[in-house]
Amino acid sequence: MTPSTTDDAVEEQSENPGARYAWRNGRVGAGVLGLLITSVYLWESRGLAFGTLDAPGPGLFPLLIGLAFGLTSLGVVFEGIRNTEKKELELPTGKERRTLLIVIAAFVVFSLLLPVLGFSISAPLLLAFYMRVIGHKVWWKCAAFGIVTAVAVYVVFAVLIEVRLPQPMWS
């Protein structure tokens, strides 16, 4: 995004305390998560040798970057609390939010099922489910779409360009 579009967006926004509150919470949350990641990162890097300045070890760069990220995360927390530019966070609501959460959850479940069921079973399931959730089509249409598309993807990628696809656990 360019500076001019950001400025325009700020000016166009209406007075909405809820959305402003959401922005603040979101940014503070992101910063806190950043601090947590920093802690885990620095904790994990404790076993790496720093070496000396003339023979730096594998731990030097992670230490510098970890500290920089920690400071940046703190900055994000403070900037979020102050929110001087009065920015707002608009998240989807109602039906849109439901669809969004289902779509994300379905993808997470799919990626967990993939090593168990393999591509040939999980992919048609995901395709059919997405068509049902997003397009609200009848089940048989969704099933047909899932199977036909998965076969097409299989032919193009696995057969023609010989990409290996995830196999089911039992194969």
Partner 1 sequence: MEAVEGLLYGLQVAIAPGNLLAALIGVALGTAIGVLPGLGPLAGAALVLPFTYTLDPTAAIIMIAGIYYGGMYGGSTTSVLLKVPGETASIVQTLDGYERATTLGRAGPTLFIMAIGSAVAATFSIVLVVFFSPILADFGLRFGPAEFFAVMSCGLVVLSRVSGGSLLDNMFPLLIGILAGTVGQEAVSSASRFTFGQVDLSAGLELGAIAIGLFGIAEMYRLASNAGKTPRPKRVRLRDMFPSREEWRRSWAPWGRGSVVGFLFGLLPGPSASLSSFASYRLESKVSKGRKEFGQGAIEGVAGPEASNNAAATSGMVPVLSLGLPFSATLALILSALMVHGIQPGPLLPTQNPDIFWGVIASMFIGNLMLLVLNIPLIGVWVNMLRIPTYMLMPVIVVIAVVGAYGARHYMIDVYTLAVASVAGYLLLRLGFSLAPMILGFVLGPLIEVHLRQGLYLAQGDLWYFVSSPIAVTLYTVSILVFLVVFVLQQFSRRRQKRARVEATIDQ
Residue 168 engages partner 1 in binding (rule: CB under 8 A): no
Number of residues that bind partner 1 (CB under 8 A): 77
Half-sphere exposure of 7 (CA within 13 A, CB side): 3
Map tokens 């070496």 to a residue: 51
What's the rounded Cα separation, in Å, for the pair 35 and 31?
A: 6
- Shortest spacing between CB 133 and partner 1, in angstroms: 8
CA distances, 122 to each of 6, 48, 117, 143 (Å) = 41, 40, 6, 12
> Which residues, numbered 129-158, are part of the site for partner 1 (CB under 8 A)?
130-131, 133-135, 137, 145, 149-150, 153, 157
Residue 107 engages partner 1 in binding (rule: CB under 8 A): yes
What's the rounded Cα separation, in Å, for the pair 51 and 83?
A: 41
Residues 29-68, one symbol each (x = binds partner 1 by CB under 8 A, - = not), give -xx--x--x---x--xx--xx--xxxxxxx-xxx--xx-x
Residue 136 falls in which region: left (phi positive, over 0), alpha (psi -120 to 50) or beta: left
CA distances, 149 to each of 71, 75, 119, 153, 161 (Å) = 47, 46, 12, 6, 17
- Contacting residue, 21, 81, 92, 139, with partner 1 by CB under 8 A: 92
Nearer to partner 1, 16 or 137 (CB): 137
Residue 164 engages partner 1 in binding (rule: CB under 8 A): yes
Residue 20 engages partner 1 in binding (rule: CB under 8 A): no
Nearer to partner 1, 17 or 93 (CB): 93
Nearer to partner 1, 1 or 17 (CB): 1
Residue 91 engages partner 1 in binding (rule: CB under 8 A): yes
Q: How many residues does the chain have?
A: 171
- Contacting residue, 82, 99, 121, 138, with partner 1 by CB under 8 A: 99
* Cα Rg, the chain, nearest whole Å: 24
The CB density around residue 34, as the number of other CB atoms within 10 Å, is 19
Nearer to partner 1, 17 or 146 (CB): 146
Residue 119 engages partner 1 in binding (rule: CB under 8 A): yes
